[in-house]
Amino acid sequence: METATLENNVEQSTTSELSFQIEKEVLLNGLRIVERATAQNGYQPVLANILFDAADKTKINLYATDFDMTISTSVEANVSSLGKITLPAKKILDIVSRLNDGIIDFVLNGTVMTIKSGKSKFDIIGISATEFPKIEYLTEEDNEIELDLKPFIIGVKEVCFAAASFESNNNLLSGVVCDINKNVLEIASTDGNRLSRAKKIISNKDDKSVKLIIPAKVLQEFMKVSFFIEEDTIKLYTKNNKIMFKSDNITMISNLMNGQYPQYNQLIPQSFPKEAKVNVKKLLSALERVSTMVDEKKKTVKFSFTENSLNLMSATPESGNSEDEIDILYSGEDILIGFNYQYLLDFIKNVDAEDVIICMNTNLSATVFKPNNEEDYIYLVMPVQIR
Amino acid sequence: METATLENNVEQSTTSELSFQIEKEVLLNGLRIVERATAQNGYQPVLANILFDAADKTKINLYATDFDMTISTSVEANVSSLGKITLPAKKILDIVSRLNDGIIDFVLNGTVMTIKSGKSKFDIIGISATEFPKIEYLTEEDNEIELDLKPFIIGVKEVCFAAASFESNNNLLSGVVCDINKNVLEIASTDGNRLSRAKKIISNKDDKSVKLIIPAKVLQEFMKVSFFIEEDTIKLYTKNNKIMFKSDNITMISNLMNGQYPQYNQLIPQSFPKEAKVNVKKLLSALERVSTMVDEKKKTVKFSFTENSLNLMSATPESGNSEDEIDILYSGEDILIGFNYQYLLDFIKNVDAEDVIICMNTNLSATVFKPNNEEDYIYLVMPVQIR
């Protein structure tokens, strides 16, 4: 039996290197926070693992990294023997989530972790903690800024989707600019065809200023991790092209991106001769209907603005065409303008407002969408040329 | 603009070949029933379409077929001009599901169907009805059997999952045997490693008998379609290797499979020296826990039965091993027996009982699982040889 080898290993080893007891739900929470930083691609098996490190008698620190991003947290535990080991994230999550509620026992022998809960027992083969990458922390001496968490997360949600989705971290447009100046956070991203920019008032004790380009992927993960943060603020530390987000219990480290980010504010027109007020729900359902007939290569939906009316049209030579009409508030000149419908859906699904204002110049110039209830969040889209 | 061509077409044609008005929800229901018989593989574009046929002034018949299976239904409509056309299933479902509730207008011109609802308007390019395959219906003169729908559907659910999942319709084991003899329906399937067999008492007016092998895929689709059937019974017609399921409003036609299906009842042992009574929920959660460590090539979980106790064990050389124990009712000899855990999960997730009886001979002979509350449903599994 395959089990024999493992059990023999366990018996041969007499002193345990790490042992602790932990509440199931507490551990599960911790695992769910760090697992998003694991790399499951198989190139370096230890990166698919979570490092369990009992630094003192009352808690276990959990770490995961894919080199681009590192997340750590600590969970309360009753530690009887200090030590560390890395365990496969997927297996350990599978197991812990299926255990009955209650206390789980962990006992390490060599690289085999024995897990017991009630009558359930598992021996999991880990990888030595010495193979886990050394994590370079930033310290409190490094450039520190303390931000209100909520407006920061809202800003991230409002702009992240407009970043370019390039795999490579070298492409600046796959980053998000965070420009903190006294008590204003300006956060923006653009993929060259559209731009999303939000401004948030934040408390900033020491009136510090900093401009950072953070990978959009990292901010998206931070947004998810932030649900586990109980405090109202988050501390940012920066040094040598690294950034560290730190709350009481969660630390996230990422590389920063370097380079000259486009001067995006220069792209935003200062005035718009044509402004239409459009109900978000009506626009969403009309756009979803009309886009059933969109040419998926071009993704173009035509918007025809006439007095208090917006007509949406789409067509594809093979399938046919579609149109829809919604009542709006508009008193400007008639204008016919084409948009990539996917760009508009991204915005409409992320905006938290009843109405949006669509601000136009010509049908070839940058068009700005903004929620009716907020001046400082704008979404700029370059129209598609239509015949 | 692409739209111009289509609109010109519409205007040039003066007499409409098909026009009707229909309630959105009524049409949507009908489309959802037939769409599962469409073929989206692209070899024959018309098979991805639904045939709309206005046979009289009060209803539209809808048809779809992928040659293996044909489904038709009819929906109430106000037809002003008779005619027929095929329209792409995916597009028409996309559109209709996104329209606001209410009446939808359909007007056909050539092969372009114009759809209007409120201010929404679509022109969809269809394919002429002449290209749609001719459907051969079975008639009331053909061998007819009327079955209770509910026990038939329960039987289908209890056995279908055990059929072999071969693509080819020629493999008999991808079929399900339905053996109707007076007022007993025996329904069974086997993939060679396991067998599921149910018996149901049914009303059968004329005491007819028939033995059919129906593709499991077709029965699975029929199970879904049956949610739309309001009557308590379903009529079966058979002729020339075809079967037709018929309710008031829905007709489904499929090929039957031909050949000598294995004499599966001979495989079921008549007596079992060892019987254990096991709680289904406990077995499911223990099996799910233990299977986290299963070797995914072999999928073997070992079952060790001792007095009133069942121990589950699994192991994989790379990851480690797992075990769990549940209290059961068992007073037979100790036995260690291996099963493909996936086979057991398939059964446990489909069985509607608090406890199952596990009936064993040796650890190499057919083992039978059956719900405690029903004699006539059995699931037989061949054990895996363990070292």
Determine, for residues A120 and B326 on separate chains, whether the beta-carbon distance falls below 8 Å: no
Query: Looking at the domain B143-264, which fold is it?
Result: DNA Polymerase III; Chain A, domain 2 (3.10.150)
| pLDDT for the residue numbered A169 | 54
* Distance of alpha carbon B110 from alpha carbon B201, whole angstroms: 52
pLDDT of residue B5: 35
> What is the greatest pairwise CA distance in chain A?
86
Q: Is the pLDDT of residue A335 over 50?
A: yes
Cβ contact, residue pair A323, B121, below 8 Å:
yes
Average pLDDT over residues B283-289: 97
Three-state DSSP at A340 gives: strand
| Confidence label for A39 from pLDDT (cuts 50, 70 and 90) | very high
ipTM: 0.85
Q: How many angstroms separate the CA of residue A90 from the nearest CA in chain B?
A: 10
Mutate to test the interface with B, among A322, A326, A363 (most CBs of B within 10 A): A322
* pLDDT above 50 for B157: yes
Given an 8 Å threshold on Cβ–Cβ distance, is A91 in contact with B324? no
Q: Do B321 and A285 touch (CB under 8 A)?
A: no
Segment B195-218 shows an average pLDDT of 89
Question: Which residue in chain B has the smallest CA separation from A92?
Answer: B292
> Residue B7: helix, strand or coil by DSSP?
helix
For residues A175 and A215, is the Cβ–Cβ distance under 8 A? yes
Query: For residues B102 and B100, what is the distance between their CA atoms, to the nearest angstrom?
Result: 6
Mean pLDDT for chain B? 91
Asked if residue B192 has pLDDT above 70, the reply is: yes
Q: How would residue A14 be classed by pLDDT, with cut points 50, 70 and 90?
A: very low
B121: nearest CA partner in chain A? A323
Confidence of residue B198 (pLDDT cuts 50, 70, 90): very high
Q: Which residues of A touch B293 (CB under 8 A)?
A: 91, 122, 124
Query: Is the Cβ pair B319, A91 closer than 8 Å?
Result: yes
Higher-pLDDT residue of A21, B7: A21
User: What is the distance in angstroms between the Cα of A66 and the nearest Cα belonging to chain B?
Assistant: 21
Q: Are A98 and B1 a contacting pair at CB < 8 A?
A: no
Q: What is the pLDDT of residues B105-114, one digit of tens each?
A: 999 999 999 9
Give the closest-approach CA distance of B320 to chain A in angstroms.
Answer: 5
User: For B10-14, B170-174, B375-379, which range has the lowest pLDDT when averaged over its residues?
Assistant: B10-14
Over residues A368-372, the mean pLDDT reads 95
Which of B116, B289, B384, B385 to mutate against chain A (most A CBs within 10 Å)?
B289
Place of tokens 């929404």: B120
Q: Where in chain A is the domain with CATH 3.10.150.10?
A: 2-131, 143-264, 269-381
Tens digits of per-residue pLDDT, B315-344? Answer: 998 899 999 999 999 999 999 999 999 999
How distant, in Å, are the alpha carbons of A176, A206, A258, A351 from that of A173? Answer: 7, 30, 11, 22
Could you read off the pLDDT of A212-269 as tens digits, one per residue?
A: 999 999 999 999 999 999 999 999 999 889 999 999 999 999 999 999 999 999 999 9
CB B293 within 8 A of CB B315: yes
Mutation target for A interface from B321, B324, B325, B328: give the one with most A CBs within 10 A. Answer: B321
CB contact under 8 A, B2 and A124: no
Q: Is the pLDDT of residue B218 over 60?
A: yes
Average pLDDT over residues B30-49: 93
With a cut of 80, say whether residue A140 has pLDDT above it: no
- Nearest-by-CA chain B residue for A310: B119
Instruction: Tell me the nearest-neighbour CA distance from B94 into chain A, angstroms.
Output: 7
Q: Which residues of A touch B (CB under 8 A)?
A: 1-3, 5-6, 88, 91, 94-95, 98-100, 112, 119-125, 285-286, 288-289, 292-293, 295, 313, 315-326, 386-387
Write the Ramachandran bin of B50: left for phi over 0, alpha for psi from -120 to 50, otherwise beta: beta
> Which of A115, A285, A321, A322 is best to mutate for the B interface (most B CBs within 10 A)?
A321
Q: Predicted confidence band at B16 (pLDDT cuts at 50, 70, 90)? A: low
| pLDDT digits 0-9 by tens, A289-323 | 999 999 989 999 999 999 999 999 999 988 999 99
Chain B hits for A318, CB-CB cut-off 8 Å, are: 125
Asked if B125 lies within 8 A of A318 by C-beta distance, the reply is yes
Residues of chain A found within 8 Å of residue B316, distances taken between Cβ atoms: 2
Q: Do A321 and B289 count as a contact with CB atoms less than 8 A apart?
A: no
For residue B72, the cross-strand partners are B63, B251
Question: Which residue from A190, A169, A181 is spatially nearest to A257, judged by alpha carbons?
Answer: A169
Does residue A73 carry a pLDDT above 50? yes
The full 3-state SS of A29-96, as one line of letters, equals HHHHHHHHHCCCCCCCHHHHEEEEEEEECCEEEEEEECCCEEEEEEEECEEEECEEEEEEHHHHHHHH
Cβ contact (<8 Å) for B318 and A121?
no
pLDDT greater than 60 at residue B367: yes
Query: Is A317 within 8 Å of B123 when comparing Cβ atoms?
Result: no
Contacts of A292 in chain B (CB under 8 A): 91, 94-95, 98, 122
Rounded to the nearest integer, the mean pLDDT of chain A is: 91
> Do the chains contact at A95 and B286, CB–CB below 8 Å?
no
Indicate whether this model's pTM tops 0.80. Answer: yes
pLDDT, residue B207, reads 75
Distance CA A79, CA A113 (A): 14
To the nearest whole Å, the CA of B18 is away from the closest chain A CA by 18
B292 and A322 in contact by Cβ < 8 A? no
> Mean pLDDT, to the nearest integer, of A328-334?
97
Interface A-B, measured as beta-carbon pairs within 8 A, has a size of 115
Rounded to an integer, what distance in angstroms lies between the CA atom of residue B316 and that of residue A125? 10
Which chain A residue shows the shortest CA-CA distance from B1? A387
Q: Which fold has domain A269-381?
A: DNA Polymerase III; Chain A, domain 2 (3.10.150)
Average pLDDT on A148-172 reads: 87
**Fold for domain A2-131?**
DNA Polymerase III; Chain A, domain 2 (3.10.150)
- Local structure of A138: helix, strand or coil: coil
Q: Is the dihedral of CA A356, A360, A364, A365 positive or negative?
A: negative
Q: Identify the three-state secondary structure at position B372.
A: coil
Question: Which band of pLDDT confidence, cut at 50, 70 and 90, is reported for residue A144?
Answer: confident
Q: How far apart are CA A174 and CA A179, in angstroms?
A: 16
**Does B98 contact A292 at a Cβ distance shorter than 8 Å?**
yes
Residue B170 pLDDT > 80:
no
